[in-house]
Chain A
Amino acid sequence: MIWPRAKLGMAMLLLSEGVFFFMLLLAFVYFRDESLKTATATLRLQTTSIYTACLLGSAFTLWRGWRKVTIVLGLVFALGQGSEYVRLLRSGVTMAQGLFGTTFFTLTGIHELHLLLGLALLAALPRNQAAAMFWYFVVAVWMAVFAVVYLWTFL
């Protein structure tokens, strides 16, 4: 398979980033038992599922080439996550709260940063395929995080 350089380079970067997120996910899982009570009490599966659906939708719209819609959907997710954060912080669940706060905010916070970067790349480089790859990665990582942090907590 002969890939243009930028895409191959991005693929290598995403491999590396994948390992990075895997280690953060693993830390969440490592502390899951101690975190479960706080997780079940504070996370909202339904709300987050809606935002997650938007994000998944943004991968579809990107695949179809509708960049502006993708960015809008991404922003919806970002704002949704942001409001979740505000709600959690207001109810006393911070990084320092305990093991749930520590692992949840680190994992989702770092993801959020990548998501914002991804949105910026999509906006700044409208036809760039490597930027599109990055966005797919951001969505894929969220699906893994959603599964481990939300679905596994409640189901």
Chain B
Amino acid sequence: MITHHKRIGVFYLLSSLLFFLLGGAEAMVMRAQLSLPNLKLLTPETYNQVFTMHGTTMIFLVVMPVLTGLGVYLIPLMIGADDTAFPRLCAIAFWLQVGGGLLLYFSFAIGNAPNAGWFSYAPLTENAYSPGPGIDFWAFSILLIGAAIVASSINLIVTIATSRTSGMTIRRLPLFVWMHLINSVMILFALPVLVATLVMLLGDRLLHARFFDAAQGGSPLLWQHYFWIFGHPEVYIMILPGFGMISEIIPVFSRQPIFGYRSMAASTVAIGFLSYGVWVHHMFAVALGRTLLSVFAAASMLIAVPTGVKIFNWTATMLGGSIRFTTSMLFAVAFLLEFTIGGLSGMAFAAVPVDWQMTDTYFVVAHIHYVLFGGTIFSIFAGIYYWYPKITGRLLDESIGHWHFWLVVVGFNMTFFVQHFLGLLGMPRRVYTYPDVPWWGALNLISTVGAGILTFGILMFCANIVISLRFGAVAGTDPWNAWTLEWADGNTSVPVRSARPLWDLKHPEAPDWAHEQ
């Protein structure tokens, strides 16, 4: 069995790319159906399956695996280890995740995909309202994928804890590793909540339990609480590794160390803790009483602070630097702006009465895509352009890269910015069609056209990956003149006395460890 971290890492990247294309196709199908009012390209049942599969795929089969894959590939290199702590577990986790994906898509193939949204509110997902196996497929798939995610998190934590090369103290870890460490601990505490919730749902559906069935004395509200106790940390789990990548990329292309290494790490720990105390903000539209809502509003606004200051740290890193706009850096800078927009629209939701208008509308669809696509996916693009030469020995083509970048930026913003307005104008989410209300048709059409442009950009990305594999410029071990151990050539032994061991090696006249931090 193949267990080496570099191979498993590449496997994760390839499987995520495949599912990204599937999830993207699902998105295009949705956008086509929504391009004009009252279209009948899809039946409501098909649309509902497609949007459920889109969300489930992107979260569980794209974002989480690709971030895991990058972690598995890079963390051992960054800490000077030979492999992860549990190589066989590493491999098993990958195949479990693939198995979950195959199970989920099998349900699609037999026309019985889940159709209740990626957060599957009960009692809609009880047997009475969702007969048929779709929801069962969904639950079992996510159980498999969830187990895989927990397994790989355990692996990463133990790897970071026990396999660091000498001199690599916790305070000298690359921020990429810090973010993954905190992320992995968050996963340990968040995923089991999802597992419990799914077990309870399957109990209801298969064994006639009554957890969530209001008609039988159960509590639909319990589902909402339990799901979001997982669901909120989950969204931070989906962005933290992205923060880690940006924290490596911006410094190297600005030729400056990250501004405020310590507070970057500390603020991330704060986010880790705080993220378990905000979940009710997904439920502000439920009658829970102003006191409870106010507490969670305060926590939700508070968590914006450690998240937001990172934007300042990254920007400050650029100031006083010498910035090279490679495609990787372009995506990293775009990330700053897109994630800021996403974070600000999130702040609007923390203001409860605004949430009372905007939740469950296209305003929230805009928000989630700004943080998950403009945030996470852009950081992944930046990361791929940055580490592709490490993985393949060749550079991705910069001209294609620039096409990819501009098509994606234009397409992405065109698709999702107008959705803020659609939400304000009253369009709810998860609707397979909509009536001919003023402006809804025009804005939806713009959004669909944007999605088409975005699709082109992504196809350029795929083309770049394939073409550069064969024809890309040969990269050498350290194409970006970077500073962390993954760029070491493997022959010279690099002493670790700071967070930038290669900088110290290249600049013996001004090493980091001589600087009082």
Contact = CB atoms under 8 A, between A and B. Distances in A.
The answer to A–B direct touch (Cβ < 8 A) is yes
Interface of A: 2-3, 5, 8-9, 12-13, 15-20, 23-24, 27, 30-31, 34, 94-96, 98-99, 101-103, 105-106, 110
A27 B199 CA distance: 12
Given A9-B158, A95-B203, A16 B189 contact: yes
Nearest to B206: A95
Contacts, number: 90
Contacts of A3: 162
Contacts of A95: 203, 207-209
A19 B192 contact: yes
Contacts of B89: 9
A101 B203 CA distance: 11
Nearest to B193: A23
A9 B229 CA distance: 24
A72 B192 CA distance: 30
Interface stretch (B215-223, B413-421, B497-505): B215-223
Contacts of A12: 153-154, 157-158, 188
Contacts of A103: 211
B192 A27 contact: no
Q: For the side of the interface on B, what is the size category?
A: 20 to 34
Contact of A5 (B162, B192, B200, B216): B162
A99 B192 contact: no
A27 B158 contact: no
Contact of A106 (B153, B154, B209, B222): B209
A16 B211 CA distance: 22
B209 A96 contact: yes
Interface in B188-242: 188-189, 191-193, 195-197, 199-200, 203, 207-211, 216-219, 222, 226, 229
A74 to B, nearest CB: 23
A3 B89 CA distance: 18
A99 B188 contact: no
11 contacts: A3-B162, A16-B150, A16-B191, A18-B192, A19-B193, A23-B193, A23-B196, A94-B208, A96-B208, A102-B203, A110-B199
Contacts of B150: 13, 16
B380 interface: no
B217 A98 contact: yes
A119 B226 CA distance: 31
Contacts of A15: 188-189
Given A96-B208, A98-B210, A99-B217, A27 B191 contact: no
